[in-house]
Amino acid sequence: MELVTYNRPKKSVVLDVDGVLLPCAELGVSRWNREHPGEPPMCLEEITRYGVTGTRTDDILEYYEEESFYHAQEPYPGAQEFVKKLCERMDVYFLTAIPEQAVAYRGRQLRHFFPEVPASNVFYGSVKERFIADFSLDDCPDHILAQYDSGAVKHPVIMRRPWNEHLSGIMSVNGYEDFLTFIMLVESMSVQDFTSNPPYLVVLVGPAGSNKGALCRALMERGCVRLPSYTTSSEKTDEVEGYTHVTPEKFLRMREEGVFIETTSYAQNYYGISREGARNILADGRHAVTVVDVCGAVVLKRLYGGHCLTVYVKRDLEALLKDLLERHTGTELTSRLRWLSAEQKNKNLCELTVDNRDVNAAADALTEFLKAASR
């Protein structure tokens, strides 16, 4: 029997309910199709934004005001086991936005489906940025952005759904196992994870305008090899330099065949890293470098462990804004500016930070770091 043990306070996680644990939009779409048999069928992918969109999908918002609508909900496959696993390792809270007339039913519903979570851990409301927790999982972009801005949640994570597919640069997951893996990676990530494990995969993460592409090229000039990557974007910009361009149809076929380590999408374009290319570079004993969003960095860290070095690329705010204003306009600029502060907080998920005010100096510093870590 151990008389002295470490105190390890439990972490906390706050979970959204609709769209994360229980289907909501799916039921609305199904009901709309039943009520409009003469119309072209509605599909979930038509819901491209959260809330009012100005399209026929707005019709289903009326259903959400009826208590009886929620009676048809059953947990997503794996949701109950997911909550059980979370409860074994942390304090779990539900924070659900639901009409006042359905609150009582929601309470009974949650106790029935998720009895591991006590009623005292269930909260109602849409002002989610006031809830303090270590992790959160939500499908609403506005809720996640508010949590980033308030700092109340250390690691806000978005559950990928059609209405948030346009987001990039923030932590997102495609399912429950991804979220559990993310929690484990956050809890275990440290600088010691990669020391004395050459060759290294240098993963550059940073907000738009941080000049990651230029730093990547500078590291290549110093001996690193860029991971072979693919994109469906036809633009000729620094952001897609070094990518192999393929059609959307070919990209999706390659993804289905397991060609990619990880994929992401932004502005209706797909991006993916070649699995075989990464394996060949590291097998040859060469350092590799790639530019990804934070979701890609987490995937690569999970796959390559101590060989993977995640680097946050820092640049002062004035330079970031100047770069964004020069390169983007309209809704693209608005979107990037809106998520800038959230992207800057990805620093907490990386093992190193490099100041990129001078690209060559930053590349030299990282190169020296790799040499020292490889001894």
> How much is the average pLDDT of 284-290?
92
pLDDT in tens, 23-63: 999 999 999 999 999 999 999 999 988 788 889 999 999 99
User: In the prediction, which pLDDT does 47 show?
Assistant: 92
The 3-state secondary structure of the chain, one letter per residue: CCCCCCCCCCEEEEECCECCCECCHHHHHHHHHHHCCCCCCCCHHHCCCCCCCCCHHHHHHHHHHCHHHHHHCCCCCCHHHHHHHHHHHEEEEEEECCCHHHHHHHHHHHHHHCCCCCHHHEEECCCHHHCCEEEEEECCHHHHHHHHHHCCEEEEEEECCHHHCCCCCCCEECCHHHHHHHHHHHHHCCHHHCCCCCCCEEEEECCCCCCHHHHHHHHHHCCCEECCEEECCCCCCHHHCCEEECCHHHHHHHHHCCCEEEEEEECCEEEEEEHHHHHHHHHCCCCEEEECCHHHHHHHHHHHHHHEEEEEEECCHHHHHHHHHHHCCHHHHHHHHHCHHHHHHHHHHCCEEEECCCHHHHHHHHHHHHHHHHC
**Residue 90 banded pLDDT, cuts 50, 70, 90:** very high
pLDDT at 335 (0 to 100): 73
Domains and CATH numbers, the chain: 11-187 (3.40.50.1000), 191-374 (3.40.50.300)
As a whole number, the mean pLDDT across the chain is 87
pLDDT, tens digit, 9 for 90 and up, residues 140-170: 988 988 888 888 999 999 999 989 887 777 8
* pLDDT of 82 over the 50 cut: yes
Confidence of residue 3 (pLDDT cuts 50, 70, 90): very low
Q: What is the pLDDT of residue 114?
A: 98
Q: State the pLDDT at residue 2.
A: 46
Per-range mean pLDDT, top range of 71-75, 245-249, 267-271: 71-75
| Band of pLDDT at residue 241, cut at 50, 70 and 90 | low
Q: What is the pLDDT of residue 254?
A: 93
Which pLDDT band holds residue 191 (cuts at 50, 70, 90)? Answer: very low
pTM, two decimal places: 0.76
pLDDT per residue as tens digits for the range 103-138 = 999 999 999 999 999 999 999 988 888 899 999 999
User: Does the pLDDT of residue 328 top 80, yes or no?
Assistant: no
11-23 pLDDT per residue, tens: 999 999 999 999 9
* pLDDT of 140: 92
